[in-house]
């Protein structure tokens, strides 16, 4: 039925590497219970792959719908200091005691991809750039939410300063905790998207992603990578740690 | 005989050569597509709920769909399109054809009470093709509850882009609770609905074939 037309409607640049697609498929397959499948479709597990293809295609469709719904000028609601959630929940794919400890004195943010000036940035250099801070709601893909205050360099001004190609499709991040993620350029240029240095008012405690975290109040929490080590600009879909396992890539709020 | 079924003024004749038409084709199709889509939405929704429960309980994993949070979200956000497309077709049909106006209205509280009390005493006559006052109330209510579920779902999905809607529903955390309540209302409706079909099983075939079996009228006690 529409599966093929849906897939054909995806522009070539949208098509993720085949390997990543297979990985995702396998992962979704693990997630399907036999009981649920037989109950809902009356089919046996041989239809598993087709189910996963449909779910993946629908997730790509939802990426496009969300990109269309995204208003680059609409700001996420902001809150007062009194609304801040304390203690702010720690959340990662590993335990709190496994969070990496980085040395701020030697830290350098590595740059690559479609960027004119790719020299790495120290924390001191980042702090010399104009800063912005805001109190916004962090919404986790799990459903819970918490309000926090983040301050740092607006990603837009940083991208402009380093001569990034802002017509490129994606901005990707690789992190010291082996996490990785990527966002669309429209969201990267949103005025509230920050390369956050401060949480809430000074350098962030280690477990919250010291020294650099992407703060995107227009996306779910897992699109806010912590412990950022490198940033790149690209037109090739970069995926992400959870995205490659089946979470929706755009995941916009 | 058909006249005793469709005797209300203003009704268009729905009688063909054989048994009378109870449920038009579009109502039947959307009913069953909705049953499937709602099942997917509720079962995957329970899995999503389990990732961060609002209350002091989790749904049994065996009753959920998706296997893990990512799978459940994939199902939920795929099935929502089926639910939305199907619901739109049903609402458009209900409004344009006069189905809602004719079959759900008027909603008279006194009649609801009267029919509710009769039903409790198992004295409520069932006339195929005609909704009693309790049915009218339930069907109208579940449409409103389903609309609430969809609106609160949108509010949770897009609390920034749909900030006004989310604020109307009590903010992000408020909308989560509204979404849960709406789900509970739908599940409650489904349980009553299925129980009543079990009590009056001859209401089931018309939702499949569209027509009431002839013998269904033989046992009918006209009100």
In this structure, are A237 and A170 located in the same domain?
Answer: yes
Nearest CA in chain A to B33: A40
Pick A37 or A217 by higher pLDDT: A217
CA dist B202 and B204 (Å) reads 5
CA dist B172 and B160 (Å) reads 9
Q: Mind telling me how many Å the CA of B142 is from chain A's nearest CA?
A: 23
Over range B13-17, report the average pLDDT: 45
Residue B6 lies in a domain: yes
Residue B223 lies in a domain: no
In this structure, are A63 and A96 located in the same domain?
Answer: no
Query: What domain range is B74 assigned to?
Result: 2-218
In this structure, are A53 and A138 located in the same domain?
Answer: no
pLDDT at position B109: 82
Residue A253 lies in a domain: no
In this structure, are A62 and A154 located in the same domain?
Answer: no
In this structure, are A40 and A89 located in the same domain?
Answer: no
Give the total number of structural domains in chain A: 2
Structure tokens at B144: 């409103």
In this structure, are A208 and A92 located in the same domain?
Answer: yes
CA dist A161 and B41 (Å) reads 46
Report the residue from B39, B161, B176 with minimal CB separation from A70: B161
Among A69, A90, A116, give the residue marking a domain's end: A69
Pick B219 or B78 by higher pLDDT: B78
- Top residue of A25, A31, A146 to mutate, by most chain B CBs within 10 Å, is A31
* Confidence class for position B181, pLDDT limits 50, 70, 90: very high
Nearest CA in chain B to A243: B70
Structure tokens at A240: 């992400």
Q: Mind telling me how many Å the CA of A68 is from chain B's nearest CA?
A: 11
Among A16, A43, A69, give the residue marking a domain's end: A69
Question: Do the bridges between strand A108-113 and strand A213-215 make them parallel or antiparallel, or are there none, so unpaired?
Answer: unpaired
In this structure, are A155 and A120 located in the same domain?
Answer: yes
CA dihedral A137, A141, A142, A144 (to 10 degrees): 10
Q: Is B159 on the interface with A (CB under 8 A)?
A: yes
CA dist A41 and A37 (Å) reads 6
pLDDT at position A23: 55
B107-131 pLDDT tens trace: 788 888 888 878 777 777 777 667 7
CA dist B44 and A32 (Å) reads 11
Least confident of A4-8, A12-16, B38-42, B64-68: A4-8
State the CATH number of the domain containing residue B88: 1.20.950.20
CA dist A71 and B168 (Å) reads 20
State the CATH number of the domain containing residue A183: 3.90.420.10
Measured CA distances, A66 to A253, B42, B151, B161 (Å) = 9, 23, 16, 10
| Contact by Cβ (8 Å): B44, B59 | no
Of residues A68, A237, A224, the one with CA closest to residue A146 = A224
- The share of chain B scoring above pLDDT 70, in percent, equals 86
Q: What mean pLDDT, rounded, does chain A reach?
A: 86
Over range B23-36, report the average pLDDT: 93
pTM for this one?
Answer: 0.82
Residue B145 lies in a domain: yes
Q: What mean pLDDT, rounded, does chain B reach?
A: 85
Nearest CA in chain B to A31: B67
Least confident of A114-118, A203-207, B214-218: B214-218
Q: How far apart are the first and last CA of chain B?
A: 14
Q: Which of residues 165-184 of B touch A (CB under 8 A)?
A: 172-173, 176
Give the total number of structural domains in chain B: 1
In this structure, are A131 and A214 located in the same domain?
Answer: yes
Residue A252 lies in a domain: no
Contacts of B163 (CB under 8 A, 6+ apart): A74, A77
CA dist B105 and B12 (Å) reads 16
Report the residue from B40, B52, B172 with minimal CB separation from A137: B172
Query: What domain range is A229 assigned to?
Result: 81-245
A42-101 pLDDT tens trace: 444 345 788 999 999 999 999 999 999 999 999 999 999 999 998 888 888 888 888 899
* Confidence class for position B3, pLDDT limits 50, 70, 90: very low
Nearest-Å Rg of the Cα atoms of chain A is 19
Over range A97-108, report the average pLDDT: 90
CA dist B138 and B121 (Å) reads 19
pLDDT at position B170: 97
């Amino acid at each position: 039925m529409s599966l093929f037309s849906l897939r054909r409607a995806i522009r070539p640049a949208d098509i993720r590497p085949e390997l990543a697609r297979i990985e995702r498929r396998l992962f979704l397959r693990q997630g399907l219970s036999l009981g649920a499948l037989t109950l809902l479709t009356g089919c046996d597990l041989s239809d598993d792959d087709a189910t996963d293809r449909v779910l993946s295609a629908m997730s790509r469709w939802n990426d496009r719908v969300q990109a269309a719904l995204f208003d680059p000028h609409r700001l996420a609601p902001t809150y007062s200091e009194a609304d801040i959630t304390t203690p702010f929940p720690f959340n990662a794919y590993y335990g709190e005691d496994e969070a990496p400890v980085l040395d701020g004195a030697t830290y350098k943010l590595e740059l690559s991809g479609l960027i004119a000036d790719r020299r790495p940035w120290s924390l001191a250099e980042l702090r010399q750039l104009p800063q912005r801070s805001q109190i916004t709601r962090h919404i986790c893909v799990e459903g819970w939410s918490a309000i926090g205050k983040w301050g740092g360099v607006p990603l837009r001004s940083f991208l402009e300063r380093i001569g990034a190609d802002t017509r490129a499709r994606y901005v990707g991040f690789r992190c010291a905790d082996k996490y990785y993620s990527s966002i669309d350029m429209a969201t990267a240029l949103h005025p509230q998207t920050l390369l956050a240095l401060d949480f809430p008012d000074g350098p962030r405690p280690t477990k919250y992603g010291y020294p650099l975290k992407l703060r995107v109040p227009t996306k779910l929490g897992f699109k806010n990578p912590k412990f950022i080590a490198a940033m790149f600009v690209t037109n090739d879909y970069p995926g992400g740690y959870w995205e490659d396992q089946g979470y929706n890539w755009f995941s916009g709020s | 005989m058909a006249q005793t079924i469709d005797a209300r003024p203003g009704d268009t004749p729905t009688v063909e050569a054989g048994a009378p038409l109870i449920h038009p084709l579009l109502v039947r199709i959307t009913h069953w597509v909705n049953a499937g889509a709602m099942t997917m939405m509720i079962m995957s929704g329970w899995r999503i709920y389990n990732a961060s429960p609002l209350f002091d309980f989790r749904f049994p994993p065996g009753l959920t769909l998706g296997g893990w949070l990512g799978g459940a979200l994939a199902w939920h956000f795929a099935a929502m399109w089926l639910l939305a497309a199907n619901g739109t077709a049903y609402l458009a049909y209900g409004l344009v054809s006069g189905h809602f106006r004719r079959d759900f209205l008027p909603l008279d509280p006194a009649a609801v009470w009267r029919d509710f009390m009769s039903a409790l005493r198992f004295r409520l006559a069932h006339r195929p093709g005609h909704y009693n006052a309790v049915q009218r109330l339930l069907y109208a209510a579940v449409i409103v509850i389903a609309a609430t579920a969809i609106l609160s779902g949108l509010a949770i999905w897009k609390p920034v882009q749909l900030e006004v809607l989310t604020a109307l529903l009590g903010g992000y955390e408020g909308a989560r609770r509204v979404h849960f309540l709406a789900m509970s209302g739908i599940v409650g409706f489904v349980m009553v609905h299925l129980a009543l079909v079990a009590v009056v099983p001859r209401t089931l075939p018309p939702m499949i074939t569209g027509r009431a079996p002839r013998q269904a009228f033989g046992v009918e006690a006209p009100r």
